Amino acid sequence: GPKTGPEPPFGAGPQGEPQPYPYAGPEPIHAPKKKKSKKGLIIALIVVVILAAGGLTFYLIWNSAENRMNRAIKDGDLDDAAEIYVEKLAGEELSEKTLSLLQEALDQVYPAYESGAMDYDDAVEELQALSVFYAEGWNDRVDAVWSLFDALNLKNDGSYESAISRYKEALELDPESEDAKAGLEEATDLYRQDVLGKAEEYISGSSDYEGAASVLQSAIDFLGGDEELEQKLTEVNEAY
């Protein structure tokens, strides 16, 4: 029969044309379209919803009346904090966090006024703002600082007896007040020195031992006993 050429090798295309090995046949003209998966879209939507809900929740918490009030207290904006409290939270129990922030603010007022870092008007304004808040025991602590203000002014004016009385009132309202304890000790020492000076004036000026004894005894009665004054009284009594 007629001669035929050799069989095209495996991997050769039609008419034996070289093709990439292995040859898989010509590409289809119209490839079928792949269906898009809805699963990925659904997951993406769920993630977006969760993130949006979380962001909204965070914002609502961050922007709550209590948190805005606490931020104002922490920043020293006590008037703003008091306004938020009156408008949004009056009558509600203050949280431990709020009370802690208020106490930190209160603890700074008297030392700042005593040291001169804060003038009287600013100190009074701070206390008035702090007085707006209400909690069990809180208002007594604020009133104690009011007493400290009066005591300090009286002490600086040389009215030691009145200052001592006001420091004692502060301690009755807030027994843990270190400012009241320190102020009372200082005012008592100044009062003691003042009484001893007056007694000495009676003695050195006109040898009035009776007048000196009277001054000393009144001070001892006021203080409820004082070792140094009692010793001086004994010396005066023995001298006349």
Q: pLDDT (tens digit, 9 = 90+) per residue, 135-163?
A: 989 999 999 999 999 999 999 999 999 99
Lowest mean pLDDT, pick from 9-18, 36-45, 157-166, 172-181: 9-18
| Predicted pLDDT at 93 | 87
Predicted confidence band at 18 (pLDDT cuts at 50, 70, 90)? low
- Regarding predicted confidence, which is higher, 13 or 181? 181
Residue pLDDT, tens place only, 28-39:
555 555 555 566
Alpha helices in the chain (DSSP H): 38-62, 65-74, 78-84, 96-115, 120-131, 138-156, 160-173, 178-206, 209-223, 227-239
pLDDT of residue 63: 65
pLDDT at position 74 over 80: yes
Sequence-distant (6+) residues with CB within 8 A of 199 are: 212, 213, 215, 216, 232, 236
Q: Flag whether pLDDT at 228 surpasses 60.
A: yes
Cα-based angle 211, 214, 219 (whole degrees, multiple of 5):
130
Q: Which of 151, 173, 169, 170 is nearest to 160 (CA)?
A: 151
**Mean pLDDT value of segment 199-220:** 93
Region 2-13: mean pLDDT is 51
What's the whole-number mean pLDDT along residues 49-59?
56
pLDDT tens for 59-68 read 445 568 899 9
Mean pLDDT of 159-174: 97
Is 50 exceeded by the pLDDT of residue 23? no
Tokens of 137: 């025991």
Structure tokens at 197: 């000076």
